Amino acid sequence: MIEKVYCAEVKPDMDGKKVRLAGWVYTNMRVGKKVFLWIRDSTGIVQTVVARGVVDEETFNTAKKLGRESSVIVEGIVKADERAPGGAEVHVERLQIIQAVSEFPIPENPEQASPELLLDLRHLHLRSPKVAAIMKVKATLMQAAREWLLQDGWYEVFPPILVTGAVEGGATLFKLKYFDRYAYLSQSAQLYLEAAIFGLEKVWSLTPSFRAEKSRTRRHLTEFWHLELEAAWMDLWDIMKVEEELVSYMVQRTLELRRKEIETFRDDLTTLKNTEPPFPRISYDEAIEILQSKGVNIEWGDDMGADEERILTQEFDRPFFVYGYPKHIKAFYMKEDPEDPRKVLAADMLAPEGYGEIIGGSQREEDWEKLRQRIIEEGMDPKDYEWYLDLRKYGSVPHSGFGLGLERLVAWILKLDHIRWATLFPRTPNRIYP
């Protein structure tokens, strides 16, 4: 039985070994009486050699015509050769063609194609080794998150996606018909996680979140993956410590396991290596002063958008926190600062190098009357939040939580020029296909 191996497993020390590969043609080049087929699979690329006289004439002629992304199974002998990628190649003895492709619709160098073409053909673009590298980094970040959360005693829970009310403001809700009434796609699992802390104390979830925002910036999607944590008995400073420890572990562990993929996208790893707690902390007041000193037209009470955050990140070489935001620019569930009622106990984590907010977190309001009043002030009906208000009636406790946008974290780590490349099939205001 010939051993089935992956492309990345073909090494010089396997010289003389007979192997079987299954994959897709990445490059086809003919030199004299040889056809060099570079075969790719999920692990990498290996060079194979189809030589006239070693294989029959029909196989040789067929190999010459194989286009990119033709699917094949190859059997042959590994030969050490320092000229080959990885230092070894496979000399083909048998070539089985699963499906021959004459012309692949994406250029050999995808960077020569327009973003619109790549997005229209996203189902095919996903085959690109660079796209695969992005997805491997993303998967490894979540692997690392699960490792840290398990070690630190957090429970994964599975909240609903169909909901009856807003978390982040009604203007960005996706409304849909739900039998004989209306429902919405979840903006955040937060409210449901808050309910879970009374039995489990420290909970987390990974769910898709939906925001009907018409923002067309490089960091917005209408559907994104949301890593959210909620914990009983923690104040804002406690949850900020959780955030920095979690993010640090995710980044360092991914750097350990996926350095090759990361280096495909960034030459300088300094900011990633700097991602060690404690992260710098500045107040919203200090952030406004920094921006004003740089000539930004912003006043106390204004929200900071992408441009302001980009300028602010130039002051730091690692992720950092901005805390103590004005109450009127933050969500209804955030706890009022007892020392300054103009503010809430909220903190955002910003990534350096211009990427801005990757986490939004806060201490939650645990007082029934104060929370109810905030709901009314925001123009919402307390009846829609009756179950949520109940949490403040029966054994309410101080608690805090946060949400991390997974695609934003990936975009920063890999220095992507747009968040849309950090997800399989991006959803934006003008894109729902494929």
Find the CATH number of the domain harbouring 89: 2.40.50.140
- Give backbone dihedrals phi and psi of 416, rounded to 5 degrees, phi first: -75, 145
Mean pLDDT of the residues in the chain = 97
Query: Burial, 403: exposed, middle or buried (Cβ in 10 Å; 0-12, 13-18, 19+)?
Result: buried
pLDDT of residue 15: 98
Residue 95 lies in domain: 7-99
pLDDT of residue 216: 80
Question: Distance between CA 19 and CA 290 in Å, rounded?
Answer: 61
pLDDT of 424 above 90: yes
Q: Is residue 280 part of a domain?
A: yes
65, 99, 133 - which closes a domain: 99
Using an 8 Å Cβ cutoff, are 393 and 179 in contact? no
pLDDT of residue 214: 87
pTM: 0.97
pLDDT of 417 above 90: yes
Q: Is residue 59 part of a domain?
A: yes
Average pLDDT for residues 42-47, to the nearest whole number?
98
| Percent of the chain clearing pLDDT 70 (strictly above) | 100
pLDDT of 185 above 90: yes
Residues 94 and 133 in one domain: no
Q: Is residue 30 part of a domain?
A: yes
Residues 60 and 149 in one domain: no
Residues 83 and 136 in one domain: no
The domain that contains 175 carries what CATH number? Answer: 3.30.930.10
pLDDT of 17 above 90: yes
**Cα-Cα-Cα-Cα dihedral of 73, 75, 79, 84, to 10°?**
-10
The Cα-based distances of 2 to 79, 128, 389 in angstroms read 16, 28, 64
- Give backbone dihedrals phi and psi of 205, rounded to 5 degrees, phi first: -150, 155
- State the pLDDT confidence band at 309, using cuts at 50, 70 and 90: very high
Residues 281 and 178 in one domain: yes
Average pLDDT for residues 381-393, to the nearest whole number?
96
Residue written as tokens 């920063």? 412
State the amino acid at position 214 in one-letter form.
Answer: K
Residues 183 and 50 in one domain: no
Residues 135 and 181 in one domain: yes
Respond yes or no on whether the N-terminal peptide bond of residue 319 is cis (omega within 30° of 0). no
Q: Is residue 197 part of a domain?
A: yes
Q: Is residue 305 part of a domain?
A: yes
Q: Is residue 105 part of a domain?
A: no
**Beta bridge partner(s), residue 88:** 80
Number of domains in the chain: 2
Residues 135 and 178 in one domain: yes
Residues 68 and 196 in one domain: no
Query: Burial, 332: exposed, middle or buried (Cβ in 10 Å; 0-12, 13-18, 19+)?
Result: buried
Choose among 101, 8, 100, 92: nearest CA to 46.
8
Choose among 68, 46, 74: nearest CA to 128.
68
Residues 78 and 151 in one domain: no
84, 99, 114 - which closes a domain: 99
Residues 206 and 334 in one domain: yes
Residues 259 and 178 in one domain: yes
Average pLDDT for residues 214-228, to the nearest whole number?
93
pLDDT, tens digit, 9 for 90 and up, residues 263-285 = 999 999 999 999 999 999 999 99
Q: Is residue 397 part of a domain?
A: yes
Q: Under DSSP, is residue 412 helix (H, G, I), strand (E, B) or coil? A: helix
Average pLDDT for residues 120-146, to the nearest whole number?
98
pLDDT of 171 above 90: no
Choose among 401, 361, 423, 403: nearest CA to 219.
423
pLDDT of residue 408: 98
pLDDT of residue 215: 79
Residues 75 and 158 in one domain: no
Average pLDDT for residues 292-305, to the nearest whole number?
98
Average pLDDT for residues 312-323, to the nearest whole number?
98
pLDDT, tens digit, 9 for 90 and up, residues 97-117 = 999 999 999 999 999 999 999
- Give backbone dihedrals phi and psi of 40, rounded to 5 degrees, phi first: -115, 150
Average pLDDT for residues 66-87, to the nearest whole number?
96
**Cβ neighbours for 408, distance < 8 A, ≥ 6 positions apart:** 219, 224, 351, 355, 357, 358, 419, 422
Q: Is residue 104 part of a domain?
A: no
